[in-house]
Amino acid sequence: MVKISDKIPWLRGRDQIIVANNRHFARFDQNRKFGDCSFVVFDTELTGLNPKKDEIISIGAVRIRDLQINLSETFHCYIRPKNRQHTQATLIHRITPQQLEAAPPLEDVLPMFLNFIEIDLLVGHCVQIDTSFLDKATRLLFKGTVANPSFDTMRMAQIYKRKVLGDFDSAQPSGDGRYNLQKLSAELNLPFFEAHDALEDALQTAYLFIFLVKKLQSVGVITLRDLLTAGKEIDWAARKADGV
C-alpha cells in the first residue's frame, strides 16, 4: 500500500522535522554552560487556557545568543483560529476575531515557527502553558512533539529569590501575583514592554531570563544541570512546607 506521505514530499518533510528534532536531543548534554547555548524565548496568546478546546492566535519569539538578545532575529505572527468567536481571553490580549480574519491558519504558521526555533533551547514565563499548546499543535500537524528542552523564568525567579536573596518562602508562589512577569520585571528594574502581546511578552521574558542567569551564575548555577538541580531543591522545599 502506498502512503499519502509517499506521494506528497511536502507532507513527508513535515514529519521529518519532528524526527530530526527528536534525534538531535536524544543526546542532549545538560552540562553545557548557559553562555554556550542559544535560546529562543517565546510567548503565545490564546483563546483560553484549556488545551483541549482553545487555540493559539499569536506567537512571538526572540533569539538569545551569547546571553545577548538578538533583535534582528524575532518571530511574530497572528494565527486565524478555527473558532473565531469572542472569548474571555479577548478582554486580556485585546485581539479580536475581526483582526484574525486575514491571518494565516496554524498549518501555515507552525512550520515557520519550528524552522525559527530549530535546535535552540526554549524559554518562557510559566512556559508549561505555552509548551502544552505547542505540543498539541505539533501532534496535530506533525504526528509528534519537539524535544527542545524548555526553561521557565518563573521557576528561575523562585530559585533566584531563594539562593541569591535568601527568601525561603520563595518555594511557594504566593497568591499576590509576585511571580507575575510584569511585577517581577518592575521589581528588578528591567525595561518595560506592553503586556499581553506575544512578541512584547517574549522580549520582557528575555530580559528577565538574562538577568536571572547572570545572578544565578554568581551562586554557582553555571550549567543547565545546575539549574535543574536547583529546581528540584525548590520542589523539595515546597513539599516539605506542605508537610508531604
pLDDT for position 242? 60
Tell which wins on pLDDT, 174 or 124.
Answer: 124
Neighbours of 31 (CB within 10 A): 10
Q: What angle do CA 204, 207, 211 make, to 5 degrees?
A: 140
Supply the pTM of this predicted model. 0.89
Tell which wins on pLDDT, 50 or 174.
Answer: 50
User: Helices 198-217 and 224-241 meet at what angle, rounded to 10?
Assistant: 90
pLDDT for position 174? 57
DSSP string, 127-161: HHHHHHHHHHHHHHHHSS-----EEEHHHHHHHHH
66, three cell numbers? 551569547
229, three cell numbers? 538541580
Among 95-104, 155-164, 193-202, the range scoring the smallest mean pLDDT is 95-104
CA separation for the pair 25, 190 (Å, rounded): 32
Q: Which secondary structure element, helix H or strand E, spans residue 180, and what is its range?
A: none
**Structural domains of the chain in order of their starting residue, each with its CATH number:** 4-241 (3.30.420.10)
**Residue 2 burial (10 A CB sphere; 0-12, 13-18, 19+):** exposed
Residue pLDDT, tens place only, 137-172:
999 999 999 999 999 999 999 999 999 999 877 666
pLDDT for position 116? 97
